[in-house]
Structure 1
Amino acid sequence: MNDPKDDLQHIRQMMERSSRFISLNGLSGVAAGTIALIGAAIAYWLFQQHNIDYFSGNRYTYNYALEWKLILLAAVVLILAVGSGILFTIQKSKRNGLKIWTSTTRLLLSHLLTPLIAGGLFCMALFYHGLFGLIAPATLLFYGLALINAAKYTFSDIQYLGYCETFLGIIAAFIPGYGLVFWALGFGILHIIYGLLMYKKYK
């Protein structure tokens, strides 16, 4: 005869699987954070190539060529980070025999993408008006809000990363000119720490 406690635990696990996307892999956070740090290092190198001392405290007007190099770099970093996340997620799903595309996945993506798309359009407006110093804070802020918004459809731990990203974005908005530093902290260091903790907890 089955132990009622075991049956309840099994039912609880089934409900968890049906209501939450549990295929996220902590290693994807580590990979995304590493890619972000490499991207930040390349961005700093680009500043030097254009004779800009980023940490001098001076406010520079970036030329057209540098602006588009930074945009291209951000796009490449985004594609590589998202690609690595998808790869690790697929591997974990196959290993655990879980389906990736479910109603829960759709809910997760809709709640995640809504703030991200709004944030992306807002950053385009900032770029259009030449408010470059607020772009990095805005990306952190909207990314954090997106994680908080989507946390109820995956591991609840992700909301804490969202709070940290949002907090960093708000601080960065009050310290213009050091967005790259906060960007590296938020998308780089925090992602790596979070990824390692998640990998250890849910491996």
Structure 2
Amino acid sequence: MESKNYHEDLLHIRSMMERSSRFISLSGLSGVVAGLAAIIGAAYVFFVFKREGIDYFDGDRNIFSKALVQELVVIGAVILVVAIASGYVFTANKSKKKGLKIWDATTKRLLVTFAVPLVAGGLFCLILLYHHLFVLVAPATLIFYGLALVSAERYTLTDIKYLGYCQIVLGLLSFLFLGWGLVAWTVGFGVLHIVYGLIMHKKYK
């Protein structure tokens, strides 16, 4: 009897330590919504390319006008806002159900760790746009996003690093096959997010 209570106490202590050191309220459904937003956004981008008479698979032979680049940046910004908003709503709801705070020291550490490679990647992509190296933007976003996920694993669910590894591999592959970056981007930010989100929702429901 005492052995059973001792075991339960250890499990309780372990649970408390995990909650204090890791942000465990990330919602899998937010990943699904982010993935759907990415797929819809990518489909719209393909439509925009078709409208402009651009064959994206020509790779570095494509010429992007200033107006087109601005439109693509706006589309990317909309996708980002939808992903962040859905992430906050679903995660806040999950935290409330579990009786956990959504904003604490662990959350701050998570955001800082996640933001460093993400901001660096965003600036790097702006530099690529400045030099008209448009074909390299999609692969670069995948790699830096993957690095951000792997870095954030320290303060949240360990499963997130596997999503990060997949994003990095996709980014590297799309650097090898220029002209397929948008397809890899759609798979990484769209399909993989949906698959990861569904798995996490089922696992940590």
TM-score, with normalisation over the residues of structure 1? 0.97
Deviation, structure 1 residue 82 = 0.9
Q: Which of 72, 75, 80 is the equivalent residue of 2:74? A: 72
The Cα of 1:175 is off from its aligned counterpart by 1.3
Counterpart code for 1:167: V
Cα drift, residue 63 of structure 1: 1.4
Equivalent residue in structure 2 for 1:21, among 6, 23, 31: 23
Give the Cα separation in 2 of the matches to 1:89 and 1:58. 40
Whether the 8 Å contact between 1:59 and 1:177 is mirrored in structure 2 is no
Matched residue type, 2:87: G
Displacement, 1:56? 5.8
Match of 1:147 in 2: 149
* Worse-matched range after superposition: 63-72 or 26-35: 63-72
Shift of 1:54: 2.9
Q: Alignment partner for residue 159 of structure 1, among 145, 148, 161?
A: 161
CA RMSD after TM alignment: 1.3
- Of 28, 35, 38, the residue aligned with 2:37 is 35
Paired position in structure 2 for 1:134: 136
1:177 aligns with 2:164: no
Q: Is the 8 A contact 1:33 1:189 kept in 2?
A: yes
CA contact (8 A) 1:137 1:169 kept: yes
Unaligned runs of 5+ in 2: none
Residues matched between the structures, number? 203
Evaluate the alpha carbon distance shift between residue 36 and residue 201 of structure 1 in structure 2; reply closer, same or farther with a 3 A threshold: same
Residue aligned with 1:3, SS: helix
Secondary structure in structure 1 of the residue aligned to 2:61: coil
Residues 57, 107 of structure 1: alpha-carbon distance in 2 compared, 3 angstrom cutoff? closer
Query: Does the Cα contact within 8 Å between 1:27 and 1:196 map onto a contact in 2?
Result: yes
Deviation at 1:136, TM superposition (A): 0.4
- Matches of 2:67 and 2:97, distance apart in 1: 45
Measure how far apart 1:52 and its partner are.
Answer: 1.7
Alignment partner, residue 52 of structure 1: 54
Name the stretch that deviates more: 61-70 or 193-202.
61-70
Identity of aligned residues (%): 56
Find the aligned partners of 2:77 and 2:112 in 1 and give their Cα distance. Answer: 21
